[in-house]
Amino acid sequence: MIDLRALRENPEPFRASQRARGADVELVDRILAADEARRSSLSAFEGLRAQQKTISKSVGRASAEERPAILAQAKELAEQVKAAEAASNRAAEALDELAHQFANLIAGAPSGGEEDYVVLRHEGGRPRDFAAEGFTPADHLALGEGLDIIDTRRGAKVSGARFYFLKGWGMRLELALMTAALDRGTAHGFIPMTTPTLVTPQVMGGTGFLGAHSDEIYYLPADDLYLTGTSEVALAGYHTDEILDLSAGPRRYLGWSTCYRREAGAAGKDTRGIIRVHQFNKAEMFSYCRPEEAEAEHQRLLALEEEMLALVELPYRVIDTAAGDLGSSAARKFDCEAWLPTQERWMEVTSTSNCTTYQARRLAVRERREGGTAPVATLNGTLATTRWLVALLENHQMADGSVRVPEGLRPYLGGLEVIEPAGR
């Protein structure tokens, strides 16, 4: 949730943020009007309640002749107080509903939509020139089927479209990625966590995922629970209604979980293979820190993502995501996109977002500071996920259909250097 006091004192940055996102700028004025109505109704309620207390105290001091009139006045005031309290509550609910519609105030993100990102740099060397090597690269599914490590046909038979089996070295390759991420994260002070994959509406809504893209989330109405699309959700809810001690630095967690996404808005996109699927595994970094440290923490998470990409030897680029392509909770987001040879395009493999105090305000996660308590900042970032297999297979394939294992993953695969086609 946004800082209402900051909006009240200086609404222009909030208008500019909405404008940059391509969102409803007039929402700012509706929130200001609702805030004024709430404060006015609250003041009226408190004024009547004060009168009621004064009248109540006077009953005992009143004479027998005065008491009936005072009691009648007290009864009338009680009814007015009850009505004023109800009006105050309605005004507060109306303000809360509007405030929850407002996306986080952007912090340095470029203006524009999905195509208006800014490329910050290219890393990992130049993409391979397969033509110069004398062969046409196969896509990840053809490679996976030739190696007998990916089976989407039986995945669809068992669960429907966009499901799959990882087999043999495919399953172990995914596990190697996740374990390497675990080692990398713990070496940098992240506490490893196995997280719940079902959460309450309060936690899902508190992280900002029940807005425009709520149709992407699986919901279990019989239990009133949501399946998470990232362990960020559970980790954001971990310290709900708590006051943290951040005097020694940020609290850093690494969530390891299976993730679920309906992909409702992705009809026809990346339907072949395992690029865009309903179920996958992910290692997710999550950090609670002081707001003034959030920008530096964001760079730290990005650096760790890049360390992992270097470990698996992928060519990639880093982009600064445009405001209109940010989720509602993100103030700024950096994506790392790996090169996909068969589609000759960049594919997102990591994402790290600075959510400033937006999620913490919704979930009441605070820290004790001089003069009282204040909301903390929350940040998240991908350290490995199943989708990496797509880029890994395509970029490290060889002419005979085998795939070279990056040196950084070999220790997790018993020293395996090459995954060879089935039956060889």
Note whether 267 and 321 are same-domain residues: yes
User: What is the rounded distance in angstroms from the CA atom of residue 178 to the CA atom of residue 88?
Assistant: 51
Total domain count, the chain: 2
* pLDDT for res 265: 60
Residue 367 lies in a domain: yes
DSSP conformational letter for 273: T
Note whether 129 and 93 are same-domain residues: no
Residue range 60-90, pLDDT digits in tens: 677 777 778 878 887 888 889 899 999 999 9
* pLDDT for res 64: 76
Give me the chain's average pLDDT, please: 93
Structure-token pair, residue 4: 């209402």
C-alpha closest to that of 240 among 335, 362, 72: 362
For the segment 281-289, the average pLDDT, to the nearest whole number, is 98
Residue 163 lies in a domain: yes
Question: Is residue 370 over pLDDT 90?
Answer: no
- Binding positions are 230-232, 261-263, 277-280, 284, 348-351, 380, 382
Backbone torsions φ then ψ of 43, nearest 5 degrees: -65, -40
CATH of the domain at 46: 1.10.287.40
pTM: 0.91
Range of the domain at 87: 4-101
Q: Among this protein's residues, is 261 annotated catalytic?
A: yes
SS3 289: strand
CATH of the domain at 398: 3.30.930.10
- How far apart, in Å, do the first and last CA atoms of the chain sit? 57
Residue range 263-274, pLDDT digits in tens: 866 566 677 999
DSSP conformational letter for 36: H
- Binding positions for ATP are 261-263, 277-280, 348-351
Q: Among this protein's residues, is 345 annotated catalytic?
A: no
* pLDDT for res 269: 67
Phi-psi region of 221 (alpha: psi -120 to 50; beta: other; left: phi over 0): alpha
Q: Among this protein's residues, is 387 annotated catalytic?
A: yes
Question: Is residue 384 over pLDDT 80?
Answer: yes
Got the DSSP string for 225-245? EEE-SSTHHHHHHTTTT-EE-
Residue 109 lies in a domain: no
Per-residue confidence band for 125, with pLDDT thresholds at 50, 70 and 90: very high
SS3 275: coil
Residue 295 lies in a domain: yes
Structural domain ending residue among the three candidates 67, 101, 135:
101
Q: Among this protein's residues, is 93 annotated catalytic?
A: no
SS3 170: helix
